[in-house]
Amino acid sequence: MTEAILRIDCMAFGGAGLGRVEGKACFVPFTAPGDLVRIRVAVAKPSYLEGELAELLEPSPLRVTPPCPVFGTCGGCTWQHLGYDAQCDAKSAIFGETLWRFGRIRPEVIAPVVPAPEPYGYRARVQFKIRWSGGRLHIGFYRRGSHYVVDVPGRCAICHPTLNQVLAEIRPVLARFPEPDRIPQVDAAVGDDGAALIIVHYIGADRRKATEYLAAVRSDLPSVAGLHLQYGRKETIEKIWGIDALGYRIPDGFLPEVPETLLQFMRGGFSQVNYRQNLELIRGVGRLARVEKGMRVLDLYCGNGNFSLPLARQGAEVVGVEEYGPSLDDARRNALNNGITSVEFIRADAGEGVSRLRQRGDSFTVVVLDPPRTGAKEAVGHIASLAPDRIVYVSCDPTTLARDLGLLGKSGYQVVESFPVDMFPQTYHIESVTLLRKTG
């Protein structure tokens, strides 16, 4: 079988539309529920097929015109062809189905997705990939499934307006660089005040010459508040000019009785890419943690204090655990700058950190965790050994979340509420917040 005609039934995790060919599941990228399509079979496995869209025979009413001219080629977005309401419906369905399939989490405890107020122009942190070919600079993102750079024509639809301005300004600067083929990437980020910081990755041999050139182009980059050079791992980042850190604010009164809180992260540090939706994560964690004055809270994978410090301001006594040293430095600095004293930060991975706290005899009413995409499998047993009353799990991957919820269920914890948050509109990625209570 090389071609087939099928109707797309729904969207699947991974971004493709799902239909059936002779009863076998078939995944087809860039399709929408309701589409009738002719496809070329690209991959045939015993249990499923992967197809390439050859012809759209009957378009779904859920389809819209993508605003980006390179959508479908650029690997940055997968769902610009879907109306935003349809995207949210798909994410709610995918999230619920994934949690049931891999964790047996009942659908009645899962709420609909929290939609983003800004489906476009939201991304505050990005890595622009760079290729020099045929005497021309290409700057943009990798083509889907490859390391070929797709040039962004003018602006990226999901990037913050300031980052699109940075993109326009950096093009001629990089084109004039003495070794244009020695810059493979530029990291760009913007704070919620509009200040932008960039890190230029350099793989050439003359760092002094590169530094001198970048130091001389400050006036050509009016939208950039700070420029840094990286010539190896993150530890090699050095400032050329301007600011070292960016920040975002939790508004005054956003959480009950919590004054405005400014959280910063240094160059190369981690932050959520969508500040508006990050506030929804913070709101959700605060609500589910149900902090009371003096309550002991453990925050694993705490980063720059994104959850630790708002919880401390609500009255909790917080211990934050983070393995990455620079993020922990950010957290300590943020606590100091905001006058927060009821927090302690420990550098360790999650499992080691919990073991050390148990040896100290510490106990906690609530454990908050926000692990990377791989989840917290290695830490789940350690968390359960603390026997907290509540666990609030922030996840960026429904599959590893479901796995970990299943493991916590075996340790006596039951999911009582879970809701996805659309942190990444125009893509299939799903962030979420889940509350577990100890049973018995």
Is 432:420 a contact under the CB 8 Å cutoff? yes
> Order of strands across the sheet with 149-151?
149-151, 136-142, 125-133, 185-190, 196-201, 226-230, 238-242
Instruction: Note if 74 is an active site residue.
Output: no
> Order of strands across the sheet with 366-369?
343-347, 317-322, 296-300, 366-369, 390-395, 431-438, 413-421
Tokens of 96: 């619920």
Per annotation, catalytic residue among 77, 156, 302, 396: 396
Three-state secondary structure string covering 153-195: CCCCCCECHHHHHHHHHHHHHHHCCCCHHHCCEEEEEECCCCC
What angle, 0 to 180 degrees and rounded to 10, lies between the N-to-C axes of helices 398-410 and 84-103? 30
Neighbouring residues of 11: CB distance < 8 A, sequence distance ≥ 6:
17, 18, 32, 33, 79, 82, 90, 93, 94, 428
Give the closest residue to 286 by CA, choosing from 369, 392, 397. 392
| H helix or E strand, kind and range, residue 144 | none
Cα separation, 399 vs 13, whole angstroms: 9
Which residues does residue 53 pair with via DSSP β-bridges, in sequence order?
Answer: 39
Give the closest residue to 88 by CA, choosing from 170, 165, 11, 17. 11
What angle, 0 to 180 degrees and rounded to 10, lies between the N-to-C axes of helices 398-410 and 377-385? 30
The residue type of 21 is: V
Q: What DSSP designation does 111 have?
A: P
Tokens of 313: 């301001």
Q: Give the catalytic positions in this structure.
A: 396
